[in-house]
Amino acid sequence: MKSNGRRSRVVVITGASAGVGRATVREFARQGAWIGLIARSREGLEGARREVEAAGGRAVALPTDVAHPEQVEAAAAAVERQLGPIDVWVNNAMVSVLSPAMQITPEEFRRVTDVTYLGYVYGTLAALRRMQPRDHGVIVQVGSALAYRSIPLQSAYCGAKHAVQGFVDSLRSELIHDGSHVHITTVQLPAVNTPQFSWIKSRMPRHPQPVPPIYQPEVIARAICWASHNRRREVCVGLPTVKAIVGNKFIPGLLDRYLAWIGYGAQQTDEPIDSNRPHNLFAPLPGDYGAHGRFDEGAREASLQFWMNRRRAWLGAGLAGVAAYVAYRMYGRQDDHSRDHRSVSVSDQGIRMREETDE
Ligand SMILES: NC(=O)c1ccc[n+]([C@@H]2O[C@H](COP(=O)([O-])OP(=O)(O)OC[C@H]3O[C@@H](n4cnc5c(N)ncnc54)[C@H](OP(=O)(O)O)[C@@H]3O)[C@@H](O)[C@H]2O)c1
């Protein structure tokens, strides 16, 4: 309970132990939320729980594999038992395999789909089972520019991200059909500096990296919190996200070729890696990785595009005002001038007519 007597918002975050999810935990905690923390790593979850409590909030750590619907359901029930009715559910957990599609095994495709797609479905349904009867709540899907524009070496992940889009669009129409006030929104991300690149399974020779420009997870965390307060259908973060989505709409064939050309190199640093390096596809790695990856240098701390996106109503109104003023200066003045001119010539004619009559 907050000091003003109002109940703290109860938020559930999947993939809360690291990366974007961990930064989002911190941002919601800063806003006074109570948080249900879902991920597999006990160490990462405990680290996140301590951070929420240090910020003065409450958190419950729930070791859960989101690929298993019964575990997700049990975690949702535990949050409501311990923290109260869920107001916001953030689906964020992911795994990926960096590899040419031909080398990804059926088991790996299934695992990426189970976590990165079905994990979102199970989370959404667990949230809806509680939000629908109360006709209240927000579900935030953490998406990606790659949900619109796939890139090479990430076929399993891109397929799962596209699938989330298909699921959400269908569900949103059902919610509208039912007259529900439960809101579902997607935050589409650019490349982010998270531990992902240190622990995804890779068959490539060099260390994985996000395709630059890279943003810090705090930029994304702020956008996710903002999206949970505002009823937008979709929130894009970062100009690269907008460029990928718009570009794919108009020049998809050209992008196929461009990505074939740059996509392999842009997803790897120059540093060779061990082909047997430990990965987190089926089980978490030991340790608490926190929010940031190893790409702090040069990572962006803010997004001008998102700043403008948040203020788009004001900026739109301002632009319309400026356009109306410019139009008035250019055409309104001309009209006034020609009206003046006409009235002079009419009165000239009038004078002339009067002069003719006098004669
Ligand atoms: N980083 C980027 O460049 C980027 C770009 C666009 C979109 N995104 C999106 O941002 C979101 C977060 O990505 P990230 O980069 O922060 O990833 P990350 O650093 O790899 O973190 C992934 C999180 O998911 C958890 N997780 C993995 N498998 C799980 C499972 N089976 N059950 C429960 N939790 C599981 C991990 O914790 P445990 O290992 O403890 O389970 C971790 O907390 C994803 O939805 C991703 O699509 C990221």
Divide the 359 residues of the chain into consecutive groups of 10 and give the mean pLDDT of each group: 74 98 98 97 98 97 98 98 98 98 98 98 98 98 97 98 98 98 98 98 97 97 98 96 96 97 97 94 98 96 91 88 89 63 45 40
Tell me whether residue 84 is exposed, middle or buried, using C-beta atoms within 10 angstroms of its C-beta: 0 to 12, 13 to 18, 19 or more.
middle
Tell me whether residue 223 is exposed, middle or buried, using C-beta atoms within 10 angstroms of its C-beta: 0 to 12, 13 to 18, 19 or more.
buried
Q: How far is the CA of 216 from the centre of ligand 1 (A)?
A: 14
Q: What is the pLDDT of residue 330?
A: 86
Q: Which amino acid is at 234?
A: E
Alpha helices (H) along the chain: 19-30, 42-54, 69-82, 106-112, 119-134, 155-177, 196-199, 217-229, 239-250, 252-266, 304-310, 312-327, 333-358
Residue 8 Cβ inside 6 Å of ligand 1? The answer reads no
Instruction: Give me 228's structure tokens.
Output: 């949970």
Q: How far is the CA of 96 from the centre of ligand 1 (A)?
A: 9
Q: What is the pLDDT of residue 333?
A: 64
Atom from ligand 1 closest to the CA of residue 96: 20
Residue 11 Cβ inside 6 Å of ligand 1? The answer reads no
Q: What is the pLDDT of residue 331?
A: 84
Residue 94 Cβ inside 6 Å of ligand 1? The answer reads yes
Q: How far is the CA of 16 from the centre of ligand 1 (A)?
A: 8
Residue to probe by mutation, ligand 1, list 70, 92, 98, 116, most atoms within 8 Å of CB: 92
Q: How far is the CA of 309 from the centre of ligand 1 (A)?
A: 25
Q: What is the pLDDT of residue 352?
A: 46
Residue 189 Cβ inside 6 Å of ligand 1? The answer reads yes
Point out the residues that are catalytic. 157
Please, which residues bridge with residue 61 across strands? 37
Nearest CA to ligand 1 atom 2: 192
